Amino acid sequence: MSVAPGAIDGKTQTRRHWAAGSRSTRSSRSAGYVLVLPYIAHFLTFVAFPLVFSFLLIFHRWDILSAMKWVGLANVRRLLHDPVFFRALANTGVFLLIHIPLQIVIALTLAVFLNEKLPLRGFFRAVFFLPVVVSGVVTTMLWDSLYAQDTGVLNNLLSSMGLGRVPWLTSPLMAMPSIAFMATWKNVGLYIVLFIVGLQSIPQYLYEAADIEGASSWRKFRDITLPMLNPTVVMVLILSTIGGFSLFIEPYIMTGGGPIRSTLSAVLYIYNQAFQFNHMGYAATLGFFFALIVFLVVILQKRVVERETGL
């Protein structure tokens, strides 16, 4: 298929191969450096420098206009006594506690059905994936109007059924759950696809063996499907956690972080500190600690799920 032109007998081929090999190692060494040069330049400028600088900023007070002022651990001490920082953490926790279970149940159920050879399966998959590709700005503005107290479709629907109007975004208790529902609606399509990939990687003979033993569908689902899907579940947990800590545009457009800071997200708080109050040092400190928490939570989730399954 891919024999070099001119390589007729074995001897010439080996000799040529050897010659080409020695030349290519020399040239490939320098070519290798040339080819990765853009990466190294980009890495040093946009990853390494920001990392080091972020670490330095933790120890400074800086409004970006005047000179940086060394303040030691003042930013860290402030963070540890900052109720708003803990509020943002708790809000992210509320979001994840609703978003993750809801997401897994809906996505897994629909994925199990979509994994069977049903007619129209491609159509369903395409429709469920639509909210995933559309900009978060669109879905947020759309749900902002669906959630509207007096004119919103959701409340009109509820009141036409004789039920009361729900203060979706105006009550501090409901606002974050409402954002979590919306995020679930937007992301389910992606997780369905990930679950389908997971389901298709389960070897068929496991089910055949269970059939011989006369296992019920539910037993098969519980004892084969669920345990075999664990890597997918870990992936969904990790992606959702990262998503929860990255919430920005949803509260930015819908609530501005209110009412009473109930939807203030990690990134929105960093944004406010940096660009409303010009507290660059404190904003960098927040960024550093939020990143650290994401990192730890992700590792913890991986550990726990892996131990549960005995992997």
Partner 1 sequence: MSGRTTKSKGVLKRAIAYLLLLCWTVVCLYPFLWMLSSTFRPETEIGSLNPIPGRVTLENYRLVFAKIPIARAFANSLFVSLSATAGVLIFTSMIGYALSRLRFRGRDSIFAVVLFTMTLPFQITLIPMYVLMVKFGWNDTYYALIVPYLINAFAIVVFRQYFKSVPEDLLDAARIDGCSDFGILFRIMWPLSVPALITVAIITFMNIWNEVLWPIIVIRKWELMTMPQLVALFAVGGKAEGLLGVRLAAASLLALPIVIAYAFFQRYFIASMATTGLKS
Report the site for partner 1 in 257-296 (rule: CB under 8 A): 266-267, 270-271, 274-275, 280, 283-284, 286-288, 290-291, 294-295
Residue for token digits 């049903």? 118
- Of 100 and 294, the one with the shorter C-beta distance to partner 1 is 294
- Of 173 and 256, the one with the shorter C-beta distance to partner 1 is 256
- Of 180 and 274, the one with the shorter C-beta distance to partner 1 is 274
**Rounded Cα–Cα distance for residues 219 and 99 (Å):** 27
- Of 66 and 135, the one with the shorter C-beta distance to partner 1 is 135
Residues 22-41 contacting partner 1, CB under 8 A? 23-25, 27-36, 38-40
Neighbours of 245 (CB within 10 A): 21
Q: How far is the CB of 81 from partner 1 (least distance, A)?
A: 21
Neighbours of 223 (CB within 10 A): 13
| Count of residues interacting with partner 1 (CB under 8 A) | 110
HSE-CB at 61 with a 13 A cutoff on CA atoms is: 8
Residues 162-191 contacting partner 1, CB under 8 A? 185, 188-190
Least Cα distance to 257 among 146, 158, 169, 131 occurs for: 169
Residues 225-254 contacting partner 1, CB under 8 A? 232, 234-235, 238-239, 242, 245-246, 248-249, 252-253
- Of 37 and 173, the one with the shorter C-beta distance to partner 1 is 37
- Of 43 and 260, the one with the shorter C-beta distance to partner 1 is 43
DSSP labels, 218-272: HHHIIIIIHHHTHHHHHHHHHHHHHHHHH--HHHHHHTTT-STTTT--HHHHHHH
Q: Which residues of 154-187 are buried (b: 16+ CB within 10 A; e: fewer)?
A: bbeeeeeeeeeebbbbeeeebbbbbbbbbbbbbb
Is residue 303 within 8 A of residue 234, CB to CB? The reply is no
Q: How far is the CB of 249 from partner 1 (least distance, A)?
A: 5
Binding of partner 1 at residue 304 (CB under 8 A)?
Answer: no
For residue 131, cis peptide bond before it (omega within 30 degrees of 0) = no
- Of 18 and 173, the one with the shorter C-beta distance to partner 1 is 18
Cβ-proximal residues to 87 (8 Å cutoff; 6+ apart), any chain:
261, 264
Among 3, 67, 161, 212, binds partner 1 (CB under 8 A): 3
Residues 124-143 contacting partner 1, CB under 8 A? 124-138, 141-143
Is residue 84 within 8 A of residue 271, CB to CB? The reply is no
Among 99, 104, 144, 199, binds partner 1 (CB under 8 A): 144
Binding of partner 1 at residue 72 (CB under 8 A)?
Answer: no
Structure tokens at 215: 């296992």
Binding of partner 1 at residue 219 (CB under 8 A)?
Answer: no
Among 12, 49, 163, 306, binds partner 1 (CB under 8 A): 49
